[in-house]
Amino acid sequence: MSEFLFYMHDGPRTFRFELSGTLAGAEVGKLDQAWRTASSTFDGKALAVDLTFLTSVDEKGRDLLLRWWRAGAHLVANTENSRGLAESVTGRPYEAADAVVGPTFDPHFNTSAFRAVAGTLIVAVTLLFPPTASADGASEAGAILERYSASLADGGLDKSTVTLEVQASMPKFRKQARVEAIRRWTDGKREYQFVAIEGDRLVRKEMIARYFSIDSQQSPLAAPITQSNYKFKFVTVNNGAVSVFQITPRKKRKGMIAGELWIDNETGLVTHLSGRLVKSPSRMLRGIQITQEMEIRHGVTFARDTHLDIETRFTGRAELTIHERTRPGETEVAENVAP
């Protein structure tokens, strides 16, 4: 079974989903969620689903494509196999939609490199979830890590209703965008109420919409920050209140970070995380730096600021910043379900 990938392209007249590989199982739900997330910014454009590089589809995937087609999406198929797939979905002879779909990219922008930047979110964004740790309990550092592990049961920001602001930019091309939303837990799932949508459409669709799609999934994709996955080295204590640990992956895998983790001694909550991804997810990327700052109030994480600095080989630097704040007066708490 070939790996399933999808890309979102924003053009002057059309918003296009490009599918590749095998659409089956859990991937169907992820694709549907990405569609729902992006749909708030379709702005009345023609919708296209490119099946050219899709190799196979299971029954759920077929039902999803049929639902989109019935809702007005145009199926694009540029090979004999993909045309046959389109006909099996619709039950009708394939009709080319080129005249309706039109161009779906900006020819003056390096979309392949931009896509590589957006793709880094798939691994980098997993670091936004609360890290987990195990401890041996034999030393003061071990006791701090035990409190760190125990603190994760509360969930904090990740089970609260928060104001979420996502900013993304490609400085070399002077492209930037911003989306503000309210994130709530409903029936154990993350749901979003979009408040403000501003800036360049390509940045919104390829970076910010991709972030929201990943943020809504129920499990992180990278290995958690535990002693089985990382080496922890106690460094120092800041102001007698925060312990600093150096963290190094035991094995270099995508989505893992080398850097520093700061833990509040009393609560076991993380106050700071910084470092770099040890393995680039693409040859088009030089490196990715991540910084997180957390604000603790009354023994819980009240706010979290995350900044990703992505250095590409062809398009310069890309930046993604996420601000999360607990909404004043909100008391909603959801089930303890992994994000």
> What pLDDT score was predicted for residue 165?
93
For 117-140, b where at least 16 C-beta lie within 10 A, e where not — what string?
bbbbbbbbbbbbbbbebbbeeeee
> What pLDDT score was predicted for residue 258?
92
| Closest alpha carbon to 17 in 74, 100, 59 | 74
332 inside domain = no
93 with 178, same domain?
no
Rounded to whole angstroms, the Cα distance separating 217 from 114 reads 23
149 inside domain = yes
How does pLDDT run across 149-186, given as a tens digit for each residue? 777 665 567 777 899 999 998 887 788 999 998 988 77
Domain with 36 in it: what CATH number?
3.30.750.24
How does pLDDT run across 278-308, given as a tens digit for each residue? 887 666 677 888 999 999 888 888 899 999 8
144 with 182, same domain?
yes
Six token digits for residue 260? 């520093």
Rounded to whole angstroms, the Cα distance separating 286 from 317 reads 10
For 194, how many CA atoms within 13 A lie in the half-sphere containing its CB?
16
pLDDT bucket at 137, cuts 50 / 70 / 90: very low
> What pLDDT score was predicted for residue 333?
35
> What pLDDT score was predicted for residue 113?
58
- Average pLDDT value over all residues in the chain: 77
How does pLDDT run across 316-334, given as a tens digit for each residue? 788 899 999 988 654 333 3
Q: What sign for the dihedral angle of Cα 208, 210, 213, 214?
A: negative
pLDDT bucket at 102, cuts 50 / 70 / 90: low
160 with 307, same domain?
yes
Number of domain units in the chain: 2
252 inside domain = yes
How does pLDDT run across 225-275, given as a tens digit for each residue? 777 788 889 999 888 889 999 999 998 887 788 999 999 998 889 899 999
Residue 109, Cβ density class (10 Å: 0-12 exposed, 13-18 middle, ≥19 buried): middle
63 with 136, same domain?
no
333 inside domain = no
Q: Mean pLDDT throughout 45-56?
A: 85
Six token digits for residue 135? 């401890």
23 inside domain = yes
Per the structure, the complete domain to which residue 300 belongs is given by: 112-326
Contact by Cβ (8 Å): 11, 105: yes
pTM flag (> 0.85): no
228 with 83, same domain?
no
136 with 80, same domain?
no
Which of the residue ranges 53-62, 126-135, 195-204, 324-333 would you say has the lowest mean pLDDT?
126-135
| Closest alpha carbon to 31 in 40, 44, 19 | 19
335 inside domain = no
